[in-house]
Structure 1
Amino acid sequence: MIEETIHEELESMLDVLDEREKEIIKMRYGLNGEESRTLEEVGEKLGISRERVRQLEQRALKKLKAVALKKHLKDFLS
Structure 2
Amino acid sequence: DTELLDLLAADGSQPEELVDGECLRGDMRALLERLPDLQGRVLKMRYGIEADEPMSLSSIARELGMSRDRTRSLERKAIDEVRRLSMDLVGYLAA
What residue in structure 1 maps to residue 63 of structure 2?
45
For structure 2, the residue ranges without an aligned partner over 5 or more in a row are 1-17
Q: Does the Cα contact within 8 Å between 1:16 and 1:64 map onto a contact in 2?
A: no
Structure 1 runs (4+) deviating above 4 angstroms are none
- Say how many residue pairs are matched: 72
Q: Deviations over 1:54-78 (max 9, x none)?
A: 000000000000011x323xx6xxx
TM-score by length of 1: 0.82
Q: Does the Cα contact within 8 Å between 1:16 and 1:63 map onto a contact in 2?
A: no
**Percent identity between the two aligned chains:** 26
What residue in structure 2 maps to residue 36 of structure 1?
54
What residue in structure 2 maps to residue 12 of structure 1?
30
| CA-based RMSD | 1.5
What residue in structure 2 maps to residue 23 of structure 1?
41
CA distance in 2, matches of 1:41, 1:33: 14
**C-alpha displacement of 1:46:** 0.1
In structure 1, give the amino acid aligned to 2:61.
Answer: G
- Aligned to 1:7, what secondary structure does the other structure show? helix
Q: Which has the larger radius of gyration?
A: 2
Q: Deviations over 1:7-63 (max 9, x none)?
A: 210111112211111110000001113211001000000000000000000000000
CA distance in 1, matches of 2:57, 2:24: 26
- Aligned to 1:17, what secondary structure does the other structure show? coil
Given candidates 58, 61, 76, the residue that maps to 1:58 is 76
